[in-house]
Homo-oligomer: A and B are copies of this chain.
Amino acid sequence: MTRTASILAVGSELLGTTRLDTNSLFLTGELEAIGIPVVRKACVGDGWDGLLTELAFALTRAPLLCVTGGLGPTEDDRTKEAVAALLGRRLVRDGEILERLRERFRKRGREMPEVNAKQADVIEGAVVLPNRRGTAPGYLVEAEGKTIVLLPGVPWEMKAIFAESVRANLTGGGTPPGVHRRVLKIVGLGESAVEEVVRPVYEAHRGHDVTILAASPGEVQLHFAARGTPEEARTELDALEADFRSAVGPALFGRDDETLEGVVGALLKGAGLTLAVAESCTGGMVASRVTDVPGSSAYFLGGAVTYADLAKMEILGVSPEILEARGAVSEEVAREMAAGVRLRLGAASGLGVTGIAGPGGGSPEKPVGTVHIALDAADGTKKHERLVLPGDRAMVRRWTTSAALGMIRGWLMERGGAG
């Protein structure tokens, strides 16, 4: 039996210029994991005729239909009414739901507005899916061989109801085979370089969709999936991951929700080492990513954003002669920035970043996108990298930030391997 699903998002706000139906991404992942691929999705406004027509059409496209939105208390919220009308069923007010609604308002010291009472109306024969996080419960209706799931449009309510009630209802509580995804993250290699080194791996594992994604400037992701029960899929994903890891080598830094700054932080913390950074073209982005990580004060001492030459001399002690002779964007200055900030703050490691982010400031010898990154460590390690990056100001800055974090990670990995 191949089950498939259709998703319909209801709400006129989804037909404007600012909002997209992000709920469908979550639902797609969850449905795929229990073996139900999504074959189409749509957004429709609150108008009655449009809603009815879209619901009827969606039901012809797949045996499972997930509808989000339109379960609120206002006049515009008519998803439940439309589904009832379509199936020729009545709406019946449920005393227990009504009492829970009143109780919810009472707890907050308020009387329930009468409009909310309609949230206690249940489509005849529907299973009610409790909503711990809001007033509108979800519903699951079986009719004419189809299953319709109604969920609120508020993401965190929708997600909780899915996890707590929908999944088990659709699977009968078991763990059916499905599609399970994994993401591996790479820094310091371009998309085509990654493509080249991983091609033999995915050619050896045919039948797996492997996508190479330039996720953000300087970082490349490998997305892949395996079918089966969660256990079967895990075994297969682990095997694929092992092969990808050995093909990509040390540039592969993380998996799924891991971030480069989180990995760097964990390595620093694990080694009991501290970091200080000196930035020019990235203007604080390296420090800002490092300090995105909760608890980063354990290993991050601070940094300097030295945009003007004077700041480089005054705060970091970069020598005026080298600035004069080599220019602010040079290997020597990057090295002096790294050493200067490290010594200044008494850190175990220092990063120095200088470059031309553009749009102005380029020259034939130093075009826009020229960047120097240097590392200076108390153990005597010194590194330097020169990059000439493509793209606009924002891209050069983001790429440089990832490359700088990649450099500190590289040092920590080598150090760990040697120690």
Contact = CB atoms under 8 A, between A and B. Distances in A.
Interface of A: 15-18, 20-22, 24-26, 28-29, 32, 37-45, 47, 50, 53-54, 57, 60-61, 181, 213, 223, 276-277, 279, 282-288, 290-292, 294-297, 300-308, 310-312, 314-315, 344-346, 358-361, 393-394, 397
When A and B form their complex, which 10 residue pairs have the shortest distance between CB atoms, in order from nearest? A283-B291, A284-B284, A284-B287, A302-B311, A42-B42, A284-B288, A303-B305, A17-B29, A287-B305, A301-B308
Given A283-B287, A311-B302, A294 B358 contact: yes
Query: Which of A282, A305, A310 gathers most chain B CB within 10 Å?
Result: A305
Contact of A360 (B40, B181, B295): B295
Contacts of A47: 39
Contact of A288 (B18, B285, B300): B285
A41 B43 contact: yes
Contacts of A40: 15, 42-45, 50, 54
Given A39-B45, A50-B61, A57-B57, A302 B301 contact: no
Contact of A345 (B21, B24, B295, B314): B314
A223 B361 CA distance: 37
A354 to B, nearest CB: 12
A147 to B, nearest CB: 19
Q: Dominant SS at the A interface?
A: mixed
A290 B307 CA distance: 11
Given A18-B213, A20-B20, A283-B292, 7 more contacts: A17-B26, A42-B43, A53-B61, A284-B291, A302-B305, A302-B306, A311-B345
Nearest to A393: B294
Contacts of A361: 297
A60 B47 CA distance: 16
Contacts of A294: 358-360, 393
A312 B314 CA distance: 15
Nearest to A24: B20
Contact of A22 (B20, B45, B287): B20
A76 to B, nearest CB: 13
Nearest to A38: B15
A233 to B, nearest CB: 15
Contacts of A42: 40-43
A92 to B, nearest CB: 30
Nearest to A221: B18
A130 to B, nearest CB: 26
Contacts of A307: 291, 296-297, 300-303
A344 B310 CA distance: 10
A28 B16 contact: yes
A397 B287 CA distance: 13
Contact of A284 (B22, B57, B286, B312): B286
A28 B16 CA distance: 7
11 contacts: A15-B28, A15-B37, A15-B38, A17-B29, A39-B47, A39-B50, A40-B42, A288-B288, A294-B393, A301-B307, A305-B305
A230 B286 CA distance: 44
A345 B310 contact: yes
A26 B20 CA distance: 12
Given A288-B284, A291-B284, A345-B311, A304 B305 contact: yes
A305 B284 contact: yes
B297 A288 contact: no
Contact of A15 (B41, B279, B302): B41
